[in-house]
Amino acid sequence: MAKTVFFCNECGYESPKWLGKCPGCGAWNSFTEEKIKKEKNNNKYTVVTNTKPVKLNEITVGNETRFSTGIIELDRVLGGGGVVGSVNLVGGDPGIGKSTLLLQMCCMLDDKYSVLYCSAEESVSQIKMRADRITNGNSNIYLSSKTSVDLIIDDLKELKPQILVVDSIQTVYSPDLDSAPGTVSQIRQCTLDITRYAKENNITVFIVGHVTKDGTLAGPKVLEHMVDCVLQFEGERYSNYRIIRAVKNRFGSTNEIGVFEMTDKGLTEVGNPSSVFLEGRPKNTSGTVVVATMEGTRPLLAEIQALVTGSAFGTPRRMATGLDNNRVNLVLAVLEKKSGFNLSGSDTYVNITGGIRVPEPAADLGIALAVASNFKNSPIADDLVAFGEIGLTGEIRNVNFIEKRISEAAKLGFKKCIVPDCKNSGIIKVDGMEIIKVKNILEAFGVVF
């Protein structure tokens, strides 16, 4: 017998009546009405059944706990390759390349891995056409276009593959529920059923998830808690470059990124992203500087551009793209207090080119130099790179991986590098690179201008 319940679209909170504000997450007007059937089998919600507590030192791990996906950039983000028995959620905007990436991964896997690619959005002939366009590889790929989670699990029992791809979870439904596919209860139930079977049989699962208009994964927030790894696929609409990063990863770091270029042959790995992000950089122009940032263990060079112009209103505008807006405002306040720059009557725009985000404080010095360069209309040397965190008193504070950042800049032909004057920077030597150590922003300005 079906009963009517209300679910919060943000966190999955269940209520017998409609509520204006969710008690679980505090979201307003997020409850939707759904009809569900009473579950007869209570064990269906159990992830792993018939197991007894085991001592930690008595647990044995197989020799092959990880496997290579055949895509180096994807292996990097996953923490060194896919983990056997893990459940991975891949999200991103429509048309960004989620399905292409996973199909390309399936084709590039070693032939010893059997794959079930279940697409509820395309027919098997359409998948075949796309696979022929991308690459020829693994011959042990089974294609299916079923939408019932029970039928998908039946195929898993029959074929016994090592890897399962579900594209997408919003189009899969459970016959035990009366609600439509894509609702909170359906997404939660289908993910739970697939996760339960995968954990019991050591099947690696990749699930494609749609995103909402504000860029978050569609469905209940509990969906991200149920899986082991959440991958976010990003990219500008009018750019060929795509970035994949781990939002959550139980088996690796969440700081790594992978860079791809979308071509007519599928996604191509970008081995040296720094050269791509600096492509087309203007020469001998004020308001631009290159900073060395870190994404996990990978050093990246990015260009910061700043524009300072007179404001037509009483309150000047402060806009930052690819950077933390609060961090930019902090640097501007330090510039006004410690350097004497009168920015209170000027609009200030700061941008990271290439469509990437640089959240770390090491970009502070680059922001300050770019703003000062445009304010003074004085270009910064094209062969100079800078990085360092700025404190509220104007001091340049230490950052990690200084030698890696400098070495990456030297590879791309930069000759000078402004670094924080700290204990670690005193012993670093890189061939062909002049290392300039500064203690505060006034010393940095004295070097540049």
Outline where DSSP puts E strands in 130-216.
141-144, 163-167, 204-209
Rounded Cα distance, 327 and 325, in Å? 5
Q: pLDDT per position in the chain (449 positions), as tens?
A: 567 888 887 777 888 889 999 888 888 888 888 776 655 454 444 444 556 788 888 877 665 588 999 999 999 999 999 999 999 999 988 888 899 999 999 988 888 899 999 998 888 888 888 888 887 766 789 999 999 999 999 999 999 999 999 998 989 999 888 888 888 888 888 999 999 999 999 999 999 988 776 666 766 677 888 899 999 988 776 778 888 989 899 998 888 889 999 888 889 998 888 888 888 889 889 999 999 999 888 899 999 999 999 988 888 999 999 999 999 999 999 999 988 888 888 999 999 987 788 889 999 999 999 999 999 999 999 999 999 999 999 999 999 989 999 999 999 999 999 999 987 666 778 888 999 999 999 999 999 98
Neighbouring CB atoms inside 10 A of 335's CB total 23
Q: What is the predicted pLDDT for the residue at 43?
A: 47
Provide the b/e sequence for 91-109 (b: ≥16 CB within 10 Å).
bbeeebbbbbbbbbbbbbb
Distance CA 229, CA 86 (A): 8
Report DSSP state, residue 16.
Answer: S
Amino acid at residue number 113? Y
Q: Report which secondary-structure segment, H or E, holds 258.
A: strand 257-263
Q: Do the domains 276-448 and 65-271 match in fold? A: no
CATH topology of domain 276-448: Ribosomal Protein S5; domain 2 (3.30.230)
- The hierarchical CATH code for the domain 65-271 is 3.40.50.300
Beta bridge partners of residue 301, listed in sequence order: 292
Residue 70 pairs with which residues in a beta bridge?
A: none
The letter for the amino acid at 265 is K
- Residue 220: what pLDDT? 65
Instruction: Write down the residue that tokens 């200084």 correspond to.
Output: 402
CA nearest to 100, candidates 192, 167, 180: 167
Taking Cα atoms as reference points, which of 156, 160, 52, 70 lies closest to residue 109?
A: 70
Answer for the pair 155, 146: CB distance below 8 angstroms, yes or no.
yes
Q: How far apart are CA 109 and CA 141, in angstroms?
A: 10
Q: What type of residue is 141?
A: I
- Helix residue ranges, H only, 218-363: 222-226, 273-277, 325-339
Are 28 and 20 in contact by the 8 Å Cβ rule? The answer is: yes
- The whole-angstrom separation of Cα 228 and Cα 52 is 22
Dihedral sign computed on CA atoms, order 259, 261, 267, 273: negative
Q: Which of 97, 76, 71, 88 is nearest to 236 (CA)?
A: 97
Distance of alpha carbon 8 from alpha carbon 81, whole angstroms: 35
Best CA proximity match to 2, nearest among 41, 40, 36? 36
Domain ranges of the chain: 1-38, 65-271, 276-448
Backbone angles phi, psi at 226, to 5 degrees: -80, -25
Q: How far apart are CA 329 and CA 32, in angstroms?
A: 40
pTM for the predicted model, two decimal places: 0.77
Note the pLDDT of residue 58.
81
User: How far is Cα of residue 194 from the mean position of the Cα atoms in its chain?
Assistant: 24
For residues 398 and 154, give the distance between their C-alpha atoms in angstroms, rounded to a whole number. 56
Sign of CA dihedral 219, 220, 226, 229: positive
Helix (H) or strand (E) holding 384: strand 384-386
